[in-house]
Structure 1
Amino acid sequence: MFIDELNYTVQIPTFEGPLELLLRLIEREELDITTIALAQVTDQYVVHVRNWSAPDPAALSAFLVLAARLLLIKSRALLPRPNAANASADTVDDSERLIQQLREYQCYKQVATLLQTWQEHGYRSYTRQDAPPLPEARSADKLDVTVGELLAAIQQRLQLTLPLELPTVPLPTPKIMTVPEMASRIQDRLIQQEWICFDDVLSLQTYRIEIIVALWSLLELLKRQAVVVEQEELFGLIRIGRGPHLETVRQQGLTET
């Protein structure tokens, strides 16, 4: 929801266009984030929020982190610093954090676009086709898991995940696992265990972006029939099991998309 709200036009001296284009330019290093009129970007978004017919608290709170970074960089650029070397280093650190935040928004947008495409093609549930029999006895009343139920589990986990950073203590930028790496980890666990709990996979992720990567990886594995998902009962635990093409996909691996 909030990703669509962020798709508004930004008009500043060094850039004019949708925020999505701004993200791409920053990622390609075609636009220096420190040269952007940051305060104007924030002010324009505030005006954009005031024009909402029905304000979305989730969209507003999601942008507050980005707005705080914008204001911090702008204020440090205007205020005198006692040590020029330290000021330059702090500005670079803040810019890197902002770029990371923008990349997170881009990742959310890519996932939303993927889910929308699958929904338009009718990919609402995923069942096994011609799967080999498993040693465990299977009951006939187990439920297929929809994408909506996976997203509900993701939303619950996101609400429990807090940013592990202190505002006054610099922390090293964590290495975020890629979709192929996360998919490989899930497949390796299925080689050792016949079934794993979806919530257990999410609980191992520290940052919100890692939870999105975990969901994306699972959807890619489902699409390739490397895994299957099921529930014993409505609103019950979601379990991930071996799919008919698990070994093939595991050997070939996933490529970055």
Structure 2
Amino acid sequence: MTQYNVRLDAFEGPLDLLLHLINRYEIDIYDIPVAKITEQYLEYIHTMQELQLDVASEYLVMAATLIAIKSKTLLPKHEDEDYVHQLEMDMEEDPREELVRRLIEYRKYKEAASYLREHESKRSLTFSKPPSDLEHIESKQEPVNPVSNITIYDIVGAFQSLFDKKRTKKTPQTKIDRQDIPIDKRMREIVSELRFRKGRQTFQNLFPYSSKDHMVVTFLAILELMKTRQIRCKQSENFNEIVIDLMEEDIS
């Protein structure tokens, strides 16, 4: 299959991914279970690499940091007093403390940015000028957010879960010829299926085949359709089925 690299602005960095995992699994940010969070983080990185997404080096640096912290927390306890004293000198603080500090600081700035964006949006609706006749001006709709109330990590997580389910199913043993599937062709197929389904389909039902190549191409096609604002993804609440909607202007 021809390599197809995708980089999305929705990936804001490794701290953003860690915060997503902490919120998703309802983890206390002041008492992070390093083993669990490291395992989940590495699963996401592995899935992103399998999808040939452009994983920035900062994600890999954070993965190495998590593994280092995990190894420190798993160091065996020794009775030798000199060794314990030396170990205490080397580890005067919880190895997670620096990571927690960075996460709290990042979350603070992220919440501040969200607050400022909200007020910027409200302020943009306020004008101070004399009334004018605007009937001749054609109204323009605000661009629709293609990922609505979910994040790109939710999309990757849904694909990861779907991929694991497909992989565990037993499939009949047969030999078929390898056939590359162009991304643009799969995009057209998805749009056609959505039109046939009156503009809506579940994320899972867009993956009819368990072939890894077909699943990866389908996922990349969905990402590209989101990027070009031809579709949008919605989720009624956390852990519910993700629904794909065709944008109104694309529904014939």
Q: Is TM > 0.5 for Structure 1 vs Structure 2?
A: no
Provide the TM-score with structure 1 as the length reference. Answer: 0.40
**RCO greater where, 1 or 2, for CA within 8 Å and sep 6 or more?**
2
Larger radius of gyration: 2
